[in-house]
């Protein structure tokens, strides 16, 4: 009896392991996980494009380039819609190597931002000033899927 139940237990364990391996392999059957992107949707207020684009070409670019150079961010992109009939008309994309590095470098990136743009009070004034020319609708974090 003991031999049969130990053999049966061994067969069950091996079967469960095979099912687990097969299930995990199926997850990545169609794609490989890629980099992490944050997607921020912006609504530029009517007539305020030049003011917001000036900010993007100035402080935003300076800070983003420094984040890339320091290795805290992989790259960034800005996309502007050709029409204004949607809820958003500009997207800011920031690319990170992976979720772990994005989270691990968060404090270092904040410190670098303080060095470049000033202390928390200065940054808050900047947020308030920009809120007059644009509205941040939201930010989502997404993983790039590389199709096989």
- pTM for the model stands at 0.76
Phi, psi of 139 (to 5 degrees): -130, 135
pLDDT, tens only, 82-134 = 887 778 999 999 999 999 999 999 999 999 998 998 787 888 888 898 989 99
- Contact predicate 126/59, CB 8 Å: yes
- Contact predicate 12/129, CB 8 Å: no
Residue with tokens 């067969």: 11
Structural domains in the chain, CATH included, are 31-147 (3.30.70.100)
pLDDT, tens only, 17-73 = 665 555 555 666 889 999 999 999 999 999 999 999 999 999 999 999 999 999 999
């Amino acid at each position: 009896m003991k031999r049969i139940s130990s053999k049966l237990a061994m067969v069950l364990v091996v079967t469960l392991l095979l099912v687990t391996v097969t299930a995990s392999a199926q997850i990545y059957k169609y794609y490989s996980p890629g980099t992490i992107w944050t997607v921020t949707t912006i609504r530029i207020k009517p007539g305020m494009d030049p003011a917001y684009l000036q900010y993007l070409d100035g402080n935003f670019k300076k800070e983003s380039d420094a984040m890339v150079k320091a290795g805290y961010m992989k790259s960034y992109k800005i996309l502007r819609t050709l029409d204004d009939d949607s809820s958003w008309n500009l997207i800011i994309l920031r690319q990170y190597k992976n979720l772990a590095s994005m989270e691990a470098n968060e404090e270092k990136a904040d410190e670098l931002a303080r060095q470049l743009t000033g202390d928390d009070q200065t940054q808050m004034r900047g947020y308030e000033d920009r809120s007059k020319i644009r509205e941040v609708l939201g930010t989502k974090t997404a993983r790039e899927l590389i199709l096989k």
